[in-house]
Amino acid sequence: MGKLDGRVVIVTGAARGQGEQEARLFTEEGARVVVADVLDEQGRTLAAELRALYVHLDVGEEADWTDAVAAAKRAYGRIDGLVNNAGILRFNALVNTPLDEFMQVVRVNQVGCFLGVKAVAPELTDGGTIVNTASYTGLTGMAAVGAYAATKHAVVGLTRVAALELAPRGIRVNAVCPGAIDTAMSNPARLDPDADTEETSRALDALYRKLVPLGRVGRPEEVARLALFLSCEDSSYITGQPFVIDGGWLAGVTVI
Ligand code: NAD
């Protein structure tokens, strides 16, 4: 028995990184997954491997959401879960952040999550689940990622409101708040096909050894396991909460 047997789950930003690991784990646990992304080639390849459905979905485009929901219903007849995972990161001090850049981040991270809830919730079966991907920076500040942190705080707020509004239908809405996770977002070397990923991961671990109490960067598979917990019956009495997965980074600082 899988933890998601018979359930249909849409995962956005699923072509790589945490979304890819969520698509893989959810499939292993018996779900029929809709792999959604703007990286069509990578998304299609993954979907073919998982025997899943691929949809081109730019999360900032309302019409794309309408098409994705229709495609999921056509293929599987129902939708039981959504993982709003797609996101982008830009580095800039606030005073140097062009408005266009700020709005680009808002469009994907914040509007994307809002449109996902808006388009999918009415189609979710009662008892369905939504997992929004916020961040460690959805709960605390971090210099040089002002646009990103603002959107991730917004995702936590959106999660709480959606949980209240959808609870009467038994739909649970929670957020995952990862710290530093070893994907292309934190480790752009992963995008270089010639890079030795083991070596770049070791370099990232070394960087986080001093910052993170558990002494290493997180793995996308670890975030996928949290998203699974929040998408299955194991979390049946949990809704409206942000879940930090950061190796203890947010717990505080060590001074001696
Ligand atoms: P990633 O860059 O490997 O994956 C992001 C995915 O989102 C990519 O597949 C990308 O194509 C997709 N995407 C980007 N814009 C999109 C759009 N407009 N529509 C649809 N898909 C789009 O990074 P990741 O670490 O796997 O990121 C997944 C989520 O986790 C993001 O929301 C990110 O903000 C969050 N997060 C990541 C970290 C980290 O350290 N990696 C930490 C905290 C939170």
Residue 86 Cα, ligand 1 centroid: separation in angstroms? 4
Handedness of CA 221, 133, 144, 248 (dihedral sign): negative
Q: Which contacts qualify for 101-105: CB closer than 8 Å, 24 or more apart?
A: 101/147, 102/146, 102/147, 102/150, 105/147, 105/148, 105/151
Structure tokens at 92: 């800039």
pLDDT one digit per residue (tens) for the chain, 256 residues: 999 999 999 999 999 999 999 999 999 999 999 999 999 999 999 999 999 999 999 999 999 999 999 999 999 999 999 999 999 999 999 999 999 999 999 999 999 999 999 999 999 999 999 999 999 999 999 999 999 999 999 999 999 999 999 999 999 999 999 999 999 999 999 999 898 888 988 988 898 998 999 999 999 999 999 999 999 999 999 999 999 999 999 999 988 8
In this prediction, residue 252 carries a pLDDT of 95
The pTM (predicted TM-score) of the whole model is 0.99
Please tell me the distance from the alpha carbon of residue 88 to that of residue 147, in angstroms, as a whole number. Answer: 10
Please tell me the distance from the alpha carbon of residue 21 to that of residue 26, in angstroms, as a whole number. Answer: 8
Active site residue 237: no
Residue 185 Cα, ligand 1 centroid: separation in angstroms? 7
In this prediction, residue 227 carries a pLDDT of 99
In this prediction, residue 35 carries a pLDDT of 99
Ligand 1 atom having least distance to the Cα of 86:
7
Tell me the residue type at 41.
Answer: E
Q: Residue 204 region, left (φ>0) first, then alpha (ψ -120 to 50), else beta?
A: alpha
Helix (H/G/I), strand (E/B), else coil: 237: coil
In this prediction, residue 115 carries a pLDDT of 99
Structure tokens at 181: 């996770």
Nearest CA to ligand 1 atom 6: 13
Please tell me the distance from the alpha carbon of residue 243 to that of residue 220, in angstroms, as a whole number. Answer: 15
